[in-house]
Every structure is written in C-alpha cells, then in structure tokens.
C-alpha cells in the first residue's frame, strides 16, 4: 500500500507540472462569472424532473465513490475568439489538504462513460464470464450519478429502421424496456417503434451498473472529474471525486464517450467534424477552432437538449415558473423571436405525432438544434466548460417551449430536463482502420462487430443545417475501428474510427453505439483471459462470442 501511495503522490506532482496556468486562470474567470448570474428557484418545488436524480449510497456495500453533480446557472455563452494548443487537462492542481482523502483502486478494466456504449461494454464483460472465467473487476467512471446514455437523456423515440436490426445488448435493453411497460399494461412498441420515458430507460440501465443502488460485486462506480490518465509506463487514471482523488490502476481502458476525453488524454490521434486531418492534444496538435477560414470543418454537429414534454388535459404548469436551476425567466421578453412557421406547425410536428407512454412527447425538432460551431467545438474539446454550455442550451430551449406555451399551446408543459445534451458526434479516434461511407455503399462486412441500419447520411451541421440521404445505410462496423493506433491497451466504443460521412450513418445511432460497447467489453474479456493486448485479439474468437451473446453481424 505504501508503494502504491508513493506512486500516486508522484502522479499528482506530475499532474501539477502538466497543468497550464492560462487554462487554470480561464477556468477561475469562468467560475467567477457564473457566480455573478442571479439564481432562480428558492424553495419552489418544480413540476418537472431533472433526468435522473438517483441517490447513490456512499457505503462500502455499493462500492461507489461520489462526486457532486454540477448545478449550473444561465450565464450567456461567449466563446473565445482564439484557440490555443493547450492539452485538454485544464484543471487546477489538487490542493494539499485533499491528499489525506486519496484512494487507490486496482481494477482490470476502466470504462469511461455511462453512455449506451459504456453500459454495453459492461454487459459484454458480464456475459463473457460464461466462456472466459475469472470475472474482471471494473471501474465505471462518469461525471455524475445520471446515466449519460442518450436514451436516458431524452431520445425517447427509437432511431431504428425496423426492429429486425435489433440484436445483442441493444435488443436485451429494448426487450427489458418493453417488458417493464407491459407489466404496467402499456404498449411501448406502437407501430413497432420503441418509445420510452427517460426515467424508465435510466432505471433499467442503472441495473447493469449497481443493481439500482444495491451494489454489484466487481463493479466500482466512480462519479467525478477525470484529471489525468497514462497508458505508457503504467496504466492508470486519476479521478477527482467528492471524497478525494482516486488513482485507478488498470490493465485495460474502454473510452465509451462520444467526446473521446480519455482517449485524447492518453495521447490518441483523432479527427473532428467534417475534417479528415488528424490531431493530437498530448502532442500539441489540438484541432483548430472552426472558422470561416477553414469552412467550419472542425465543428462537430449541432447539439440538442431533448426535453420531455407532458400534454395535459387543461393548462400545463407554466415554464415561466419552472424553477429549474438553469432557467432564468429574465432572459425571456416581448422581443423574444420564434419562427411563426414552427409555431403553427408544432401541432402536427414529429414531437406531437409520436406519443410516449403516459402521454408524453420527445421534443426533437430542427429548430431545437443549438447551431453554434463554437459551442459544439468547446463542448467536445473543453470538458471544464460543459456545465455553463449545458446551462446556456437548457435556458435557450426552455424559452422556446415557454413561447409555444404562451402562444397557442397552453396544455404543453415540461416534465423532464436532461442533464446532458444530445451529442451527435464528438471526435473520431484514429484506429487500426478507418470505416468509410464507400464501404457502407459496397456492403463491406469484413471483421464486423456491430450491425445496424439507418439513413445512409444524416448530419445536423452547425452552419449548413440538416442534410439527410434517406436511403438505408447498412453498417457493419469493423473490429479494427475500435482498436486505437499506438495504444494497444485502449479501445474506443463510441468515438470510433470512421470518415466523416460514415460517422453520420447508423454508426452514430444508439442501437449501434450500444452494440459497439458490447463488442468492446467482449474484446477486453478475451484479451484479459489470454493476457494479451487489444491489438492481438483474434477476430474469430470475438465473432464466436458475439454470436453466442446474440449479436447480428
């Protein structure tokens, strides 16, 4: 233990040397600015849900270490006009007084992100025990207690061209949701397309992590901020939690985040936006900010806050009195602008046509896209800016629903506000191969680990708007697109290696993301059992286990 602690303290000192002073000053300035914004709410009890707010125990039985979720204000977002090549780590040095609260954890696998892909990876590991004994100890790292899966964050209507494409972990999750509703006498498959309330999806996803708060043997759930990670001399990650800094020693990493935070921190090359150039934060080659000069090529897609709406028999509770911590009613006034076409057509819009259980609706309209290239870029590239960015987008979309409510739709209210935006894409980590749209068109199936079908191309561009080629695109994601160049102990399962057009296919949809995660978990189970790197895994063994777990390839 003393040796581990000395190594841990050495890592903290190294982290202190890495932290850029400018980044720390910028973060401090941003924090002070947020403190100056008036808060709203007080003792008011809001008639809505923040998705979701489960209570996690700190007891040793749950093996969960907790960090506080961020409560945001509605500070207006003003992107910087210049971009530096500072590494993504922009946190301040861990104070000396926190060292007495440090922890050291030894695990076999770190899974970063409670996305559909992250939970899929965990499930793949769990089910692989039937063939590869000696279960692995897993640390699941997330920014807070909420499930980050887009399904649990408001994407309530299934993105799937026919239920026949559902297989593997996604089918298991889908079937669990259907059974849960059926037990209450509710049909969650009207017309064959899954509809689900975010809180139901969240509860079912959490079952895989910790039995919904009861604790799951072999799984540590760390809630906090990723400070540093290394896969060279040793393999570990430092996480700032409410209880202190945790050093997690591991054999393997799975980055299940769309932003690729962990992979970029480990020094992986990546692509971003429409650009096919490669960048590397650790080497000082950070992707440049999207501008007119580069045709905004480095901008990820527009993000959305997918509110869940409730249709009431009478008037809904007013958005003006919602009491959400990110909503400032003073930002709404008589000069608020909203498209008259969007207002008049809302009654027959996608949102209103697709009815969720309990007469709810998924707010997912083109006018709900926050189309700002700076915001999309900063969300992906700067984790420390996500709280104020999220608050800005939440406030913006709540004002739009307020306008609708006060201009013809008084029965429409807000019942769920996600804690995370819909991140359609982040980065694309450079893999051992790059999956392309041309391969989708030619039906390339070599070494497939995940299959799905959606529109061949669907992009919500921050500058050029939404574009879709609605021809069905049948994707067969190759195993080598999850394996990271130069990082044999790391897999990515959301920010996989594709060209920009292939990324805008079923590859970015939840059924495929979930199953890429399942495949990553299986790959790690095989590698750990054989004591080899993720680069040395034979595809035939992966394929056999995927098929045993019910995956269509």
CB 398 within 8 A of CB 324: yes
Structure tokens at 337: 């602008």
The H or E element spanning position 527 is helix 510-530
Q: Indicate whether 10 belongs to any domain.
A: no
Residue 25 has pLDDT above 50, yes or no: no
Predicted confidence at residue 214, as pLDDT, reads 80
Q: Indicate whether 21 belongs to any domain.
A: no
Q: Indicate whether 36 belongs to any domain.
A: no
Residue 71 has pLDDT above 80, yes or no: no
Q: Indicate whether 495 belongs to any domain.
A: yes
Tally the domains of the chain. Answer: 1
Q: Indicate whether 216 belongs to any domain.
A: yes
Q: Indicate whether 38 belongs to any domain.
A: no
Predicted confidence at residue 165, as pLDDT, reads 79
Helix (H, G, I), strand (E, B) or coil at 133: coil
Name, in order, each residue with C-beta under 8 angstroms of 350's C-beta and a sequence gap of 6 or more.
Answer: 364, 365
Q: Indicate whether 199 belongs to any domain.
A: yes
Predicted confidence at residue 235, as pLDDT, reads 97
Model confidence over 76-111: pLDDT tens digits?
Answer: 343 433 333 333 333 333 444 444 457 999 999 999
Q: Which residue has the tokens 């949809």?
A: 509
Q: Which structural domain range is residue 336 located in?
A: 47-78+95-278+289-553
Q: Indicate whether 159 belongs to any domain.
A: yes
pLDDT category at 161 given cuts 50, 70, 90 is: confident
Give whole-number Cα distances, 115 to 207, 227, 390, 511, in Å: 14, 20, 17, 12
Residue 405 has pLDDT above 50, yes or no: yes
Predicted confidence at residue 548, as pLDDT, reads 98
Q: Which of 205, 137, 198 is nearest to 170 (CA)?
A: 205
Sheet holding 355-356: strands in order across? 49-50, 412-417, 308-311, 360-362, 355-356
The H or E element spanning position 221 is strand 219-231
Residues of the chain with pLDDT > 90, as a percent, come to 77
pLDDT category at 162 given cuts 50, 70, 90 is: low
More confident residue, 134 or 322: 322
Predicted confidence at residue 102, as pLDDT, reads 77
């Amino acid at each position: 233990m003393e040796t581990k602690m000395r190594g841990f303290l050495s890592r903290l000192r190294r982290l202190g040397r890495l932290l850029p002073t400018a980044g720390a000053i910028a973060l401090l300035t941003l924090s002070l600015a947020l403190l100056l914004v008036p808060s709203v709410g007080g003792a008011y009890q809001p008639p809505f849900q923040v998705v979701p707010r489960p209570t996690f125990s700190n007891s040793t039985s749950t093996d969960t270490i907790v960090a506080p979720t961020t409560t945001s204000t509605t500070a207006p977002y003003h992107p910087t006009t210049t971009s530096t090549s500072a590494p993504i780590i922009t946190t301040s040095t861990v104070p000396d007084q926190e060292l007495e609260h440090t922890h050291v954890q030894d695990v076999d696998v770190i899974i970063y992100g409670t996305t559909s892909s992250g939970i899929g990876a965990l499930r793949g590991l769990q089910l692989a025990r039937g063939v590869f004994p000696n279960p692995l100890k897993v640390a699941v790292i997330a920014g807070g207690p909420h499930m980050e899966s887009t399904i649990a964050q408001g994407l309530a209507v299934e993105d799937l061209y026919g239920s026949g494409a559902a297989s593997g972990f996604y089918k298991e999750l889908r079937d669990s949701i259907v059974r849960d509703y059926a037990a209450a006498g509710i049909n969650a498959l009207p017309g064959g397309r899954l509809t689900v309330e975010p809180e139901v999806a969240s509860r079912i996803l959490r079952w895989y992590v910790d039995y919904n708060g009861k604790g799951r043997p072999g799984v540590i759930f760390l809630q906090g901020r990723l400070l540093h990670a290394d896969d060279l001399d040793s393999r570990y990650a430092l996480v700032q939690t409410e209880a202190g800094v945790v050093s997690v020693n591991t054999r393997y990493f799975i980055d299940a985040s769309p932003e690729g935070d962990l992979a970029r921190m480990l020094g992986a090359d990546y692509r971003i936006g429409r650009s096919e150039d490669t960048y590397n934060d650790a080497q000082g080659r950070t992707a440049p900010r999207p501008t007119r000069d580069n045709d905004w090529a480095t901008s990820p897609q527009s993000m959305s806050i997918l509110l869940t709406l409730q249709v009431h028999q009478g008037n809904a509770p007013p958005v003006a009195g919602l009491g959400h911590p990110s909503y400032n009613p003073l930002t709404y006034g008589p000069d608020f602008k909203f498209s008259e076409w969007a207002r008049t057509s809302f009654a027959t819009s996608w949102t209103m046509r697709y009815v969720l259980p309990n007469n709810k609706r998924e707010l997912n309209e083109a006018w709900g896209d926050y189309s700002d290239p700076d915001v999309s870029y900063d969300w992906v590239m700067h984790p420390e800016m996500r709280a104020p960015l999220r608050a800005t987008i939440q406030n913006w979309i709540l004002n739009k629903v307020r306008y609708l409510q006060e201009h013809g739709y008084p029965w429409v209210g807000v019942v769920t506000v996600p804690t995370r935006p819909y991140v359609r894409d982040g980065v694309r980590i450079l893999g051992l191969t790059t999956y392309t749209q041309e391969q989708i068109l030619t039906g390339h199936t070599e070494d497939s680990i995940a299959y799905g079908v959606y529109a061949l191309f669907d992009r919500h561009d921050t500058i050029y708007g939404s574009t879709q080629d609605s021809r069905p695109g049948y994707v067969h994601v190759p195993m080598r697109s999850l394996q990271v160049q130069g990082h044999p102990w790391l897999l990515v399962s959301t920010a996989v290696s594709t060209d920009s057009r292939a990324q805008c296919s079923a590859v970015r949809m939840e059924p495929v993301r979930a199953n890429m995660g399942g495949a990553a978990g299986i790959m790690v189970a095989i590698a750990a059992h054989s004591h080899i790197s993720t680069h040395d895994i034979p595809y035939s063994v992966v394929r056999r286990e995927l098929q045993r777990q019910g995956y269509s390839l």
